[in-house]
Structure 1
Amino acid sequence: MENLHGCKFRLIFSIIICLSFGLVSFLFCIIAETKRNKKKDLKMDGKLCYLPESHAFGFGVAALVCLFVAQIIGNSVVFRNSFSGGKRRGSQAKLSEIVKALLSISWISFGVAVVLVSTATSMSRKQPYGKGWLDGECYLVKQEIYIGSSILILVTTSSTVGSAITTIRESQS
């Protein structure tokens, strides 16, 4: 009986950690949005341009790390519960479809968020005269890219935690 309570505690603790990392990643994206380079930071020298490195770079990297940790922890809870249980009954097959749907949403939004945050973060690095971000041209991160990414991070985290909770309920019945 005590082992069962220890297992439940570890699962709940893992879910809380996953939620915490997801929320921290969300907050880092919000901060990165406020710290990104603006048009006034762009300096032109004829056809050459220069952008200094913004603080959004560090916050973007931190957001990516936290998002990866949240996704790994959340999915480990899901897969540990899914594969540690006994035989599945017909009533539980419907729940596993819910878990599959939530995991699909989680991984799709995770992939899009990683692409958006990593691209915006890469663009937040220093862009020296003549080098730029791509083909020698300077690029600014568009307004609200980090905000959109933060919404995707919330979708990722909530669907991962939802699938984890569903698998916990599934294994208890």
Structure 2
Amino acid sequence: FNAQALDTCSTSNDDRMTSWFIDDSATNTQTHKLTSVLRIEEYPSISGQDPKVVVGQVHGWEISQALVKVLWEGENKPVRVIMNQGFFTDNEKCDDDNPVNNCDEWSFSIELGTYAADVDWQYVIQVDEDGIYLATEDESGVVEKQINWGVAFQDKDGDSVTLSEDWAGNDIA
């Protein structure tokens, strides 16, 4: 997606056209990729706690639950990708007052590569009609995962999880 070509990069207004659909008529594309080359130079240092630095994420339009959140938790831990199997529309939250459809169990994680601070590395989040491709990479190689909509796979804890095909629905931007 080339935001400069459409001049619609911001989602701060009420125009749904600032977001993209998987099969997107505004951009005439069916594959969307977010990639970044980065280096963690500074991060929170709290005694007894691992740092938590969100380096990238993808949300649906008016959906509080992130589809993908890429989290760096220190030099000695794999980059963790936190995902949600399902979601609510209209920015409805899942909390103690609203544990509908076991939404408190939607969140899961997968692990990618491990990267030290002050070292260049990159991530890729690619979303298409089949699912989500996730990868991290540095000079030593690539760690990648393909997660397809509606197909069970194992998360980092060995649990079987399935991304709802609703994420790829024609009404979800």
Q: TM-score range by the shorter chain?
A: under 0.3
Q: Could you tell me the TM-score, scaled by structure 2's length? A: 0.25
Higher RCO (C-alpha 8 Å, min separation 6): 1
Higher-strand-fraction structure: 2
